[in-house]
């Protein structure tokens, strides 16, 4: 079986609603006919679901304000680098690390530790 499509748009023939687009530059659009990245998904709801098996998955969604929500079926989102970088501010709340709850505020003590070349902080 050989199926070939160099460029085109797949659509539902009953109502000609565009379902998927494949462009000659390799960009693919789902729900959009003019994808401007390698994969663009256009939908007002959950846009992407990555599944390991029938029960373990993570759902990604972007809302009307451009906020990304990641909803894992498990208990956490683990960043492989073990670092979380924030541009701007992180909202107040409870932060938990390895079962230890940390306060949502901190105050610098301005204490210098020459041995490790760092500033000590109280959390």
84 and 37: one domain? no
Judge if 65 and 118 occupy the same domain: yes
Q: Which domain covers residue 82, as residue numbers?
A: 48-122
Q: How many domains does the chain have?
A: 2
Q: Is 117 helix (H, G, I), strand (E, B) or coil?
A: coil
Q: Are residues 28 and 84 in the same domain?
A: no
Please report whether residue 64 resides in a domain. yes
Q: Which residues of 44-69 are buried (b: 16+ CB within 10 A; e: fewer)?
A: eeebeeeeeeeeeeebebeeeeeeee
Range picked from 1-10, 35-44, 105-114 for highest mean pLDDT? 35-44
Asked whether residue 22 is domain-assigned, the answer is: yes
Q: pLDDT (tens digit, 9 = 90+) per residue, 2-34?
A: 766 678 877 777 776 678 888 989 899 998 889
Q: 57 and 35, same structural domain?
A: no
> Which of 67, 14, 60 lies closest to 41 in space, CA to CA?
60
Rounded to two decimals, the pTM is 0.58
């Amino acid at each position: 079986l050989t199926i070939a499509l160099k460029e085109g748009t797949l659509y539902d023939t009953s109502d000609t609603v565009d379902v998927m687009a494949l462009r000659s530059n390799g960009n693919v659009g789902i729900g959009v006919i003019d994808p401007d990245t390698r994969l663009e998904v256009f939908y007002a709801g959950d846009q992407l679901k990555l599944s390991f098996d029938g029960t373990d998955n993570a759902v990604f969604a972007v809302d009307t304000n451009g906020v990304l929500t990641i909803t894992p079926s498990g208990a956490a989102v683990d960043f492989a680098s073990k670092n979380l970088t924030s541009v701007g501010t992180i909202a107040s709340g409870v932060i938990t690390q390895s079962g230890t709850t940390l306060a949502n505020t901190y105050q610098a003590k301005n204490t210098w530790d020459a041995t490790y070349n760092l500033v000590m902080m109280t959390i």
